C-alpha cells in the first residue's frame, strides 16, 4: 500500500494527493524542482522514498513532489522552518541567505570535476559545512551530486566575447551574478521553473546548467546550442529542519538517515552515468553541442576566474587551497 506513494508521484500523479500514507505514519514531504527520471536528484529522491516506504512501512511515509509542484527553491527553506515540508535538496547556490560557506561551489573553474567535489565534501572542512545553518534551524544531511555546468545561449558561444551584452539566467547567488558580469554580460536571478519560458520569450538570452537540467527542462529546444565549458558545478544539500528531526522518535530518525546515507552513496557513485546519458540525449535531440579546444577553454578561464578575488576572503583562502590541492 505505502510503497506506491512515492512512485505514484514520480509517475506524475496529482502532487496534492496525499496518496498512500496512512494516518499512523509520520508523513514526510520531500519537495524538489527537477524532473524525476533521468535526473540525478529525481532518481535519488524517488529511490529514497521507495526504500523508506518499503522498509519503514507503518512508521514513516515519504511523498516526493518534483518539478516545483510544491515549492520553488526560494520558498522551500522558509516553508521547512514553518513545518510545511520536511525534506528538500536545493542546489548549493540557493543557500546564500542562510550561509555564505557554499559560495566556494559557485566560483568558476574551482572544481576540476565531480570527483573533486566529492573528495572536498568528504574532508573535514567540507563535512563541517553541512552544519553551517544550524543556528538558522536547518540541518544539512547529505550532499547529492548533479554534474558540471555548461553554457547555452540564443547564439553560438565559442569565445567569452560572444557572451558580451547578453542576459543570462542564474540561480540566486552573488557569485554567479559576479561571474556573469565578469563576461560583460548581465545576470538575471530567476526560479528554475521559469527559465524555459524566459529563454523562449527572450526575457533572457542564455543560461548555465548541468546536462541533466538542460535535458530535463528542454532548454536545448529554445537555445542555439550548448557550449561544453564545464565551468562550474551543480551540487545539492539535502536539508531538514532541526525542530522536525528532534521531534522524531530517535530510532525512526536513525533508520531514515541510514537509508538516506545509503541512497546518497549509491546515487552519487552513479552520477556520471546519468550526466553523460543526459548529454547524449541533448545531442540526440539534434542540439549543436560545441566542444572547446584547450586554448578556447583557457580564454573562458582567463575571463571568469578573476572573480575568485572578490569572494576569497568570504569562502576562506584555506578552502580554496584545499580544493586546488585535490584538483592536482
Ligand atoms: C537551478 O535552479 O538551475 C538548479 O538549482 C535546479 C536544480 O535543482 O537542479
Please state whether beta strands 138-153 and 60-65 pair in parallel, antiparallel, or not at all (unpaired).
unpaired
Q: What pLDDT sits at residue 22?
A: 87
CA of 252 to the centre of ligand 1 (A): 30
Q: What pLDDT sits at residue 67?
A: 97
Cell of 194: 521559469
Backbone angles phi, psi at 67, to 5 degrees: 55, 35
Q: What is the mean pLDDT of residues 75-81?
A: 98
Report CA-CA distances (Å) from 49 to 46, 53, 55, 303: 5, 6, 10, 43
Report CA-CA distances (Å) from 83 to 17, 78, 87, 253: 18, 9, 10, 16
Residue 7 scores a pLDDT above 50 = no
DSSP state of 108: T
**Cβ–Cβ under 8 Å, residues 237 and 89:** yes
What's the pTM? 0.94
Q: What is the mean pLDDT of residues 93-114?
A: 97
Q: What pLDDT sits at residue 21?
A: 86
CA of 145 to the centre of ligand 1 (A): 12
Q: What is the mean pLDDT of residues 279-305?
A: 98
Is 150's C-beta closer than 6 angstroms to any atom of ligand 1?
A: no
CA of 58 to the centre of ligand 1 (A): 33
Helix (H) or strand (E) holding 195: helix 195-201
Residue 17 scores a pLDDT above 80 = no
Q: What pLDDT sits at residue 251?
A: 98
Q: What pLDDT sits at residue 186?
A: 98
Is 192's C-beta closer than 6 angstroms to any atom of ligand 1?
A: yes
Q: What pLDDT sits at residue 20?
A: 75
CB atoms within 10 A of CB 9: 27
Q: Which residues contact 223 (CB under 8 A, 6 or more apart)?
A: 152, 153, 154, 199, 206, 207, 287
CA of 22 to the centre of ligand 1 (A): 32
Residue 2 scores a pLDDT above 70 = no
Report CA-CA distances (Å) from 161 to 157, 183, 184: 8, 7, 8
Strands (E), the chain: 26-31, 60-65, 87-88, 138-153, 167-170, 186-189, 206-210, 225-241, 289-291
Q: What is the mean pLDDT of residues 100-109?
A: 97
Which of 65, 69, 171, 197 for mutating ligand 1's site (highest number of atoms within 8 Å of CB)? 171
Q: What is the mean pLDDT of residues 245-269?
A: 98
Please state whether beta strands 138-153 and 225-241 pair in parallel, antiparallel, or not at all (unpaired).
antiparallel
Cell of 48: 529514497
- First-to-last C-alpha distance (Å) of the chain: 50
23: confidence class by pLDDT, cuts 50, 70, 90? confident
Amino acid at each position: 500500500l505505502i510503497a506506491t506513494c512515492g512512485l505514484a508521484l514520480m509517475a506524475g500523479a496529482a502532487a496534492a494527493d496525499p496518496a498512500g500514507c496512512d494516518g499512523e505514519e509520520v508523513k514526510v514531504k520531500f519537495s524538489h524542482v527537477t524532473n524525476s527520471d533521468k535526473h540525478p536528484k529525481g532518481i535519488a529522491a524517488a529511490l529514497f522514498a521507495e526504500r523508506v516506504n518499503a522498509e519503514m512501512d507503518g512508521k514513516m511515509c515519504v511523498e516526493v513532489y518534483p518539478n516545483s509542484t510544491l515549492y520553488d527553491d526560494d520558498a522551500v527553506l522558509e516553508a521547512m522552518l514553518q513545518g510545511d515540508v520536511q525534506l528538500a535538496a536545493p542546489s548549493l547556490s540557493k543557500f546564500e541567505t542562510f550561509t555564505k560557506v557554499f559560495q566556494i561551489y559557485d566560483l568558476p573553474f574551482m572544481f576540476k570535476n565531480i570527483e573533486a567535489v566529492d573528495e572536498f565534501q568528504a574532508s573535514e572542512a567540507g563535512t563541517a559545512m553541512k552544519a553551517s545553518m544550524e543556528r538558522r534551524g536547518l540541518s544539512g544531511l547529505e550532499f547529492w551530486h548533479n554534474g558540471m555546468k555548461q553554457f547555452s545561449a540564443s547564439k553560438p558561444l565559442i569565445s567569452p566575447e560572444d557572451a558580451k551584452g547578453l542576459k543570462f539566467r542564474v540561480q540566486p547567488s552573488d557569485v554567479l551574478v559576479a561571474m556573469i558580469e565578469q563576461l560583460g554580460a548581465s545576470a538575471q536571478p530567476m526560479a528554475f521553473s521559469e527559465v524555459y519560458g524566459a529563454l523562449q520569450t527572450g526575457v533572457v538570452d542564455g543560461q548555465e546548467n548541468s546536462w541533466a537540467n538542460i535535458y530535463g527542462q528542454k532548454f536545448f529546444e529554445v537555445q542555439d546550442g550548448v557550449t561544453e565549458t564545464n565551468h562550474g558545478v551543480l551540487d545539492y544539500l539535502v536539508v531538514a529542519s532541526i525542530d522536525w528531526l528532534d521531534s522524531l522518535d530517535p530510532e525512526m530518525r536513525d533508520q531514515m538517515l541510514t537509508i538516506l546515507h545509503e541512497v546518497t552513496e549509491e546515487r552519487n557513485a552513479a552520477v556520471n552515468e546519468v550526466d553523460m546519458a543526459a548529454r547524449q540525449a541533448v545531442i540526440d535531440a539534434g542540439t549543436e553541442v560545441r566542444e572547446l579546444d584547450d586554448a578556447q577553454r583557457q580564454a573562458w578561464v582567463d575571463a571568469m576566474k578573476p572573480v575568485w578575488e572578490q569572494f576569497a576572503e568570504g569562502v576562506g583562502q584555506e578552502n580554496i587551497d584545499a580544493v586546488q590541492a585535490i584538483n592536482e
